[in-house]
């Protein structure tokens, strides 16, 4: 993640531990992703615990960098007020 927004110069390094709340958002998104994988296994009637764990682990491993960025974006959107006039060009 960059240190600041290239358009409005919003500082993304707000304070130490600011993004700790993003960890909970990332956890919730990964739980939803696991539930989705579980439902897919049930719909196709192929549920076996071993294959589910391997598939879910592989998918979560692939999506974790993206999930971290998305959860940080959601957390800062919840914490910092949006200012449409902040754009400098």
Whole-structure pTM over 0.75, yes or no?
yes
Alpha helices in 1-89 (DSSP H): 20-43, 49-79
Is position 4 within any domain? no
Is position 78 within any domain? yes
| pLDDT tens, per residue, the chain with 89 residues | 778 888 777 788 888 888 899 999 999 999 999 999 999 999 999 999 999 999 999 999 999 999 999 999 899 889 888 777 766 55
Number of domains in the chain: 1
Q: Which domain holds residue 58?
A: 40-83
Is position 31 within any domain? no
Structural tokens at position 31:
């739980």
Is position 1 within any domain? no
Query: What integer pLDDT is reported at residue 82 of this predicted model?
Result: 77
Rounded distance between C-alpha atoms, residue 82 and residue 89, angstroms:
17
Rounded distance between C-alpha atoms, residue 20 and residue 67, angstroms:
14
Query: What integer pLDDT is reported at residue 58 of this predicted model?
Result: 97
């Amino acid at each position: 993640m960059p240190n600041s927004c290239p358009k409005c110069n919003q500082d993304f390094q707000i304070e130490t531990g600011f993004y700790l709340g993003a960890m909970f958002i990332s956890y919730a998104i990964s739980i939803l992703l696991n539930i989705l994988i579980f439902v897919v296994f049930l719909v196709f009637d192929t549920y076996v615990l071993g294959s589910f764990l391997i598939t879910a682990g592989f998918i979560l491993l692939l999506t974790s960098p993206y999930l971290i960025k998305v959860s940080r974006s959601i957390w800062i959107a919840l914490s910092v007020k949006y200012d449409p006039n902040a754009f400098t060009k």
